[in-house]
């Protein structure tokens, strides 16, 4: 029943998904909140909620525009539930904003499979990564994704190789000029907190371990049949799927080096993982398996809040 409902992209789906996002946001905010209510607090939470709902529509646009899934809402459903798995995502506003900005970069990167406005797409994607890196430094690693796309989609002209560097540096230079004009260069240097920590022991906490084990198992189950499908697909789909695998690996590395592991850092994995899961659901012929996966997502979501 649930699988059938989300096996389409009708307006009612987006209404339901938006309501789900609001519900997830409210539950997560209540669970992790420790402080006093104030007008500033409510305004901040309202802006974060708006940003999160907007992310759903941008994510859907990227998927539809680049044919990353078929005509369904599975990826959006999984995206919302994954956010609910890790409630501290809403406590790290800088990380949430960085991820939001990166969506604009991913939109341009995945669209490089077409030959329209290639240089503009390369510049734009690097430009957005430059902005995102000022909210979270290690967003810079997604520059590798741009070069991967250039290579995979055969856009490796000499001038194209240097465009990502120019695009990345441009917003950083403009920000520096602004702070210099304000005579506040020290504030600019504070934007660059190059911290990292490979310690994975925080993930041993049951609230993080349970959803992580579920995601790892589902990823291992999903990756083989989806890769097998990509190998017999058209060359542009095959290249896109290779890019998605690179995306997952980059996101895993960013998660691994995140200094304070509380679950919020896993948001970098949601974009590629949800596309992987949605494609797995699409090629699964057993209806009961589709239903079971979705129900396991829902059960895992609620379990996190009772541990």
Predicted local confidence at residue 120, as pLDDT: 94
Lookup result for tokens 């998927």: 63
Predicted local confidence at residue 169, as pLDDT: 95
Predicted local confidence at residue 225, as pLDDT: 87
Given a contact cutoff of 8 angstroms between Cβ atoms, the answer to whether 167 and 123 are in contact is yes
Residue 266 and residue 244: Cα distance in Å, rounded? 16
The mean pLDDT value for 192-206 works out to: 87
Residue 67 and residue 270: Cα distance in Å, rounded? 17
Given a contact cutoff of 8 angstroms between Cβ atoms, the answer to whether 24 and 83 are in contact is yes
Given a contact cutoff of 8 angstroms between Cβ atoms, the answer to whether 275 and 229 are in contact is no
pLDDT beyond 80 at 307: no
Q: What is the pLDDT of residues 67-111, one digit of tens each?
A: 898 888 999 999 999 999 998 888 888 899 999 999 999 999 999
The mean pLDDT value for 115-134 works out to: 94
Q: What is the pLDDT of residues 19-38, one digit of tens each?
A: 998 898 888 877 776 666 67
What are the φ and ψ backbone dihedral angles of 300, each rounded to 5 degrees? -65, -40
What sign does the dihedral 284-290-292-293 (CA atoms) show? Answer: positive
pLDDT beyond 80 at 234: no
Q: Which of 59, 64, 150 is nearest to 106 (CA)?
A: 59
pLDDT beyond 70 at 17: yes
pLDDT beyond 80 at 235: no
- Tell me which of 27 and 58 has the higher pLDDT: 58
Alpha helix ranges (H) inside the chain: 2-5, 11-32, 39-65, 74-85, 93-110, 118-133, 143-152, 158-181, 185-189, 206-231, 235-257, 267-283, 287-304
- Tell me which of 7 and 265 has the higher pLDDT: 265
Predicted local confidence at residue 183, as pLDDT: 80
- Tell me which of 243 and 35 has the higher pLDDT: 243
Q: Which of 138, 128, 69 is nearest to 102 (CA)?
A: 128
Predicted local confidence at residue 233, as pLDDT: 65
Predicted local confidence at residue 217, as pLDDT: 95
Predicted local confidence at residue 150, as pLDDT: 93
Q: Which of 122, 153, 115 is nearest to 246 (CA)?
A: 153
Q: What is the pLDDT of residues 127-185, one digit of tens each?
A: 999 999 999 999 999 999 999 999 998 877 878 889 999 999 999 999 999 888 888 87
Q: Which of 215, 244, 252 is nearest to 138 (CA)?
A: 252
- Percent pLDDT > 70 in the chain is 96
Lookup result for tokens 């995945």: 110
Predicted local confidence at residue 162, as pLDDT: 92
Burial of 299 by CB count in 10 Å (0-12 exposed, 13-18 middle, 19+ buried)? exposed
pLDDT beyond 70 at 194: yes
Given a contact cutoff of 8 angstroms between Cβ atoms, the answer to whether 275 and 223 are in contact is no
Burial of 273 by CB count in 10 Å (0-12 exposed, 13-18 middle, 19+ buried)? buried
Predicted local confidence at residue 33, as pLDDT: 66
Mean pLDDT taken over the chain: 88
Residue 258 and residue 141: Cα distance in Å, rounded? 13
Predicted local confidence at residue 151, as pLDDT: 92
pLDDT beyond 90 at 126: yes
Burial of 222 by CB count in 10 Å (0-12 exposed, 13-18 middle, 19+ buried)? buried
Given a contact cutoff of 8 angstroms between Cβ atoms, the answer to whether 149 and 243 are in contact is yes
């Amino acid at each position: 029943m649930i699988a059938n409902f989300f096996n389409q992209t009708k307006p009612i789906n987006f209404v339901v998904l938006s309501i789900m996002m609001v519900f997830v946001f409210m539950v997560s905010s209540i669970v992790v909140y420790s402080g006093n209510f104030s007008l500033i607090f409510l305004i901040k939470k309202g802006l974060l909620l708006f940003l999160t709902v907007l992310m759903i529509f941008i994510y859907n646009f990227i998927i539809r525009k680049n044919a990353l899934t078929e005509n369904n809402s599975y990826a959006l459903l999984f995206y919302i539930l994954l956010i609910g798995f890790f409630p501290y995502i809403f406590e790290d506003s800088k990380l949430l904003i960085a991820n939001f900005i990166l969506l604009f970069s991913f939109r341009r990167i995945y669209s490089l499979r077409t030959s329209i406005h290639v240089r503009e797409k390369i510049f734009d994607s690097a430009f957005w990564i430059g902005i995102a890196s000022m909210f979270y430094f290690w967003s810079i690693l997604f520059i590798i994704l741009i070069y991967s796309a250039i290579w995979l989609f055969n856009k490796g002209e000499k001038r194209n190789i240097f465009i990502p560097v120019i695009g990345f540096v441009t917003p950083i230079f403009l920000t520096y000029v602004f702070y210099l004009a304000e005579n506040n260069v020290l504030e600019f240097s504070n934007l660059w907190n190059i911290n990292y920590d490979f310690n994975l022991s925080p993930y041993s906490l049951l609230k993080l371990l349970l959803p992580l084990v579920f995601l790892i198992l589902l990823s291992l189950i999903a990756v083989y049949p989806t890769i097998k499908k990509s190998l017999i697909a058209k060359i542009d789909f095959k290249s896109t799927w290779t890019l998605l695998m690179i995306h997952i690996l980059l996101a895993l590395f960013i998660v691994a080096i995140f200094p304070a592991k509380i679950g919020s850092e896993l948001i970098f994995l949601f974009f590629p993982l949800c596309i992987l899961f949605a494609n797995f659901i699409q090629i699964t012929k057993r209806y009961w398996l589709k239903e079971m996966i979705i129900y396991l997502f829902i059960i895992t979501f609620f379990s996190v809040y009772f541990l």
